[in-house]
Amino acid sequence: MEITYRKMTRADFDDVLDMMRTFYTSPAVATDGSEEIYRADIEACLDPESPLTGYVFTEAETCVGYALTYPGFATEYGRPCVWIEDLYLTSETRGRGVGRRFLTELAAANPNALLRLEAEEENRPAVHLYRSVGFTEVPYLELWKL
């Protein structure tokens, strides 16, 4: 069966929420989220006024993954950027070219933008995918304040 992706709808809420719970408690992510954050993120994806865009990956009408993207600007590169905040596929879906196709099509839809994302070094399959579609590591120290 072919896996397709589309923008998230309200009907996807519970499926995406379940996948976020799995993703954010896995070794692929260094920090945990919370139920409140997951729900707020999904609501932001569904809000037409929000810059956060949510996508769901489906196979035979079953949700098998999701992605969140956010527009920004990269002064050091002098161009817009698209942050890929989340990219999650169920374990049964990984390795089938879905992430590669999504990243390739996202780049084609944003030809003047720099695509940015974060990954845990230990998540070797994801890092391999990102490198294989042209992502390179940058020597940044990430800092944040709540």
16 neighbors 42 (Cβ within 8 angstroms): yes
pTM of the full structure? 0.92
Token code pair at residue 94 = 């990984």
pLDDT classification of 122: cutoffs 50, 70, 90:
confident
84 neighbors 116 (Cβ within 8 angstroms): yes
The edge-to-edge listing of strands for the beta sheet with 79-89 is: 3-7, 53-59, 62-74, 79-89, 114-117
68 neighbors 44 (Cβ within 8 angstroms): no
Q: At what angle do helices 35-46 and 13-23 cross, to 10 degrees?
A: 140
pLDDT classification of 139: cutoffs 50, 70, 90:
confident
User: What does the pLDDT look like over 72-108, one tens digit per residue?
Assistant: 999 989 999 999 999 999 999 999 999 999 999 999 9
**Rounded distance between C-alpha atoms, residue 110 and residue 15, angstroms:** 27
Count other C-beta atoms under 10 Å from residue 101's C-beta.
Answer: 15
Token code pair at residue 56 = 């769901």
User: What does the pLDDT look like over 67-76, one tens digit per residue?
Assistant: 999 999 999 8
Token code pair at residue 5 = 């992706």
Distances 61 to 54, 76, 90 between C-alpha atoms, Å: 17, 41, 14
